[in-house]
Amino acid sequence: MNANLDVVPMQEWINTDGKPLIIAGPCSAETEEQVLETANRIKAEGYAHIMRAGVWKPRTRPGSFEGMGEAALPWLVEAKKQTGLPIAVEVATPEHIELSLKYGVDVLWIGARTTVNPFNVQEIADALKGVDVPVLVKNPVNPDLALWVGAFERLQGAGIKKLGAIHRGFSNAQETKYRNSPMWQIAVEMKRLFPQLPIIGDPSHMAGKRALLMELSQRILDLNYDGMIIETHRDPDQAWSDASQQLTPEALGEMLRELDVRKASYGADFTDELTALRAKIDNIDRELLEVLAARMSVVEKLGEYKRDNNVAVLQLDRWKQVHADRAGQAKGLGLYPEFVEELFKLVHLESIRKQTEVMNTSLA
């Protein structure tokens, strides 16, 4: 993918004193009292750099709470006045942008349901021309890196340079323990393509349950993300939206204090040991490739045998057996079954491709 983004470093538009950026606040701004109490309790804990709150809430089905709209913006202005914290809201239309800027909102973010639609993103980009405001973009609902990158390109085309990516996980047809599958590899690839682009983790929307926030937040820090956006509410169980994934400001503060922030780089003392360990990994990777090549050689012979006996390439019973067997072996070896399942899906797809190629060659 050929792309380039001219991005202003995050520390030029928000000072975090070298610490990971923390954006905290309720999923939804419900009442003025709720917003102000939550904001002041967040401020008292001392961990947040920006306060967030949902003002317009895109919901899957009509009849759900869809936010208080413009009425909530003065509450956020007052929260900023009382705490000194910059405020951030989600925008999905040019009208949202106009109102947010009218009330002095400091940071805007584009939600996953908006990122998925290039027409909507372009409308937002057009509305932001000539505006100097940080804009964060959540990944699209589906795992589509090009769509995510395209949103940044549209914003860049409108002259927006204070940009950041929010990784909130992706919808998955398979059941997982998470509300949205992290699919870390997509965010890592985004960072590889655009190392200057800040990546902010959203463990709240990945988890869907507060019990999973700690493990996801630590993983985010382990991957050296630039920060996190986490939902916190004065009384999470009574929240009007996403109650199960929110923490009290105090519980969030306790969790953040327990997390380990990793070093982004290492000193000379570690170079020799890292080099030796990486050399071992390189050797093992070569062995893995040799084993894969040997496997594909056998697959090719299998394809020839199926061709000669007029047997279909895809044998579902065999695939189900392999799927169950390899996951069981993985567990016995201390590997994550989910990882091995995904790995063998790719291996199986390549096996099908190879066997199909053998079939087609015979017909040429």
Structure confidence by residue, pLDDT tens digits, 18-34: 999 999 999 999 999 99
- Spatial distance between the Cα atoms of 187 and 165, rounded to a whole number of angstroms: 9
Give the pLDDT band (50/70/90) at residue 362. low
Contact status, residue 133 vs residue 88, Cβ threshold 8 Å: no
The H or E element that residue 166 is part of is strand 163-167
Q: Global pTM? A: 0.80
Angle at 40 between CA 36 and CA 41, to 5 degrees: 115
pLDDT score of 42 = 98
Environment class of 195 (CB within 10 Å of its CB; exposed 0-12, middle 13-18, buried 19+): exposed
Mean pLDDT confidence for 213-234: 96
Which of 65-69, 161-165, 288-292 has the largest mean confidence?
161-165
pLDDT score of 18 = 92
Which string of DSSP letters, residue by residue, matches 241-268? S-GGG-B-HHHHHHHHHHSPPPPSS--G
Which residues of the chain does CATH 3.20.20.70 include? Answer: 10-258
268-361 adopts what CATH topology?
Chorismate Mutase Domain, subunit A (1.20.59)
pLDDT score of 48 = 97
pLDDT at 364 over 60: no
End-to-end Cα separation, the chain, in angstroms: 34
pLDDT score of 175 = 64
Give CA 304 to chain center in angstroms. Answer: 43
pLDDT in tens, 51-106: 999 999 876 667 778 889 999 999 999 999 999 999 999 999 999 999 999 999 99
- Spatial distance between the Cα atoms of 249 and 45, rounded to a whole number of angstroms: 7
Other Cβ atoms closer than 10 A to 168: 24
Which residues of the chain does CATH 1.20.59.10 include? Answer: 268-361
- 162-171, 199-208, 331-340: lowest mean pLDDT where? 331-340
Name the one residue in this structure whose structure tokens are 């995904």. 342
pLDDT score of 361 = 77
Give the pLDDT band (50/70/90) at residue 263. confident
- Spatial distance between the Cα atoms of 167 and 188, rounded to a whole number of angstroms: 10
Give the pLDDT band (50/70/90) at residue 295. very high
Under CATH, which number does the domain 10-258 receive?
3.20.20.70
pLDDT score of 326 = 84
pLDDT at 268 over 80: no
Mean pLDDT confidence for 331-359: 86
What is the residue-averaged pLDDT of the chain?
Answer: 91
Between residues 360 and 103, the one the model is more confident about: 103
pLDDT in tens, 240-258: 999 999 999 999 999 999 9
Between residues 202 and 176, the one the model is more confident about: 202
